[in-house]
Amino acid sequence: MPLVEHSSLPSFAVLRDEGDEILSDGEARQRSTPALHIGFLNMMPDAAFVVTERQFMHLVGSSKHDAQFYVHPFSVPGLDRGVATQRYIDTHYVPFDDLTLAGLDALIITGANVANPSLELEAFWEPLQRTIDWATQNVASVLCSCLATHAIVKSLYGIDRTPLPRKCWGVFGHRRVAAHPLLRGVADRFDVPQSRHNQISRAQLEARGLKVLVESEEAGVHVAVSPDERFVFFQGHPEYDANSLLKEYKREVHRHIDGTRPDYPPHPQRYFSPEAARLADAYANDVREALARGAAPPAFPEAELEAQLGNTWRDTAKIMFDNWLGLVLEATSATTHANTRKDTP
């Protein structure tokens, strides 16, 4: 069950403070339980970089399987980074070449922000292709999130994502549409946060032989698997904290205040409670009145809004991640992996 603190990555201390079980590397080596080594390719923008790392590590560490989990974070060139985030990567992340030499059992790839209409034009496209090519031959399973899903189905199956008429943004009801070991113990219907401007449809996926497992009438496909089941594709964000969409909403409000967004952002759908919606609307009126007077708007009521939020998707996310890790354990010789794998930073 526990994560192993095998490096100086600050997220280990944060997760321990939040109640996660964290083993030191020395303690882990004294145990005879299986070990899984999971690569974590973090492509998220700076504002969400560290918190996304922690969110996925928490889901991995929440597994009920009798195993030890080593998470090895890395990134790729071609992503716009500020000085602080690049320093964090240089200090705490592992070079991809070191991971390929040491070996991994599985891989998680996050979403990313893009600046071009075609994903192939992104500077990170070629480094990502190298990662995919290696993973296809060398890991048991790859779990892809949001933009990573769009990029990898484009790379492997020639599927182009399509723009949505408006951003799919909020917490949406989803349902199981197929049986699969990933969904053992998952309710027939459950919530998932979504935040994207583009989509891959069920028809596109099924035309290429992929199997859709979870979808929403409003938000479309959430989970699909590749024909060989090596790749698991998420369009949604089960890793999100209760306040993740609130932070996105706050950023969009500030974009309106500083003039980079002309319209005031709508609420994320089905996310705010009635009281939170009332608070958000009252603040929107305050902002409009202040801007009309040429005055500075009041501070965003983040704490008041956060107090009204709930997380209706985390339990399902933990079950699904536990199922995924169980499938990886079944597919690997994890019982001896801890003693045969080379050490990495």
Site of tokens 């354990």: 329
| 239 annotated active-site | yes
| 144 annotated active-site | no
Contacts 24+ apart (CB under 8 A), 282-291: 283/253, 284/253, 287/253, 287/256, 287/257, 288/264, 291/257
- Choice among 6, 72, 237, 337 that is catalytic: 237
| 168 annotated active-site | no
Contacts of 111 (CB under 8 A, 6+ apart): 43, 44, 145, 146, 147, 148, 237
- Choice among 6, 53, 122, 146 that is catalytic: 146
CB distance 235 to 161 below 8 Å: no
- Choice among 5, 215, 239, 252 that is catalytic: 239
DSSP 215-245: EETTTEEEEEE-TTS-EEEESS-TT--TTHH
Closest CA to 268 of 252, 256, 289: 252
| E strand map for the chain | 3-5, 22-24, 35-41, 68-74, 106-109, 141-145, 162-176, 189-199, 211-216, 220-225, 231-234
- Dmax over CA atoms of the chain, in Å, equals 68
CB distance 35 to 68 below 8 Å: yes
Catalytic residues: 146, 237, 239
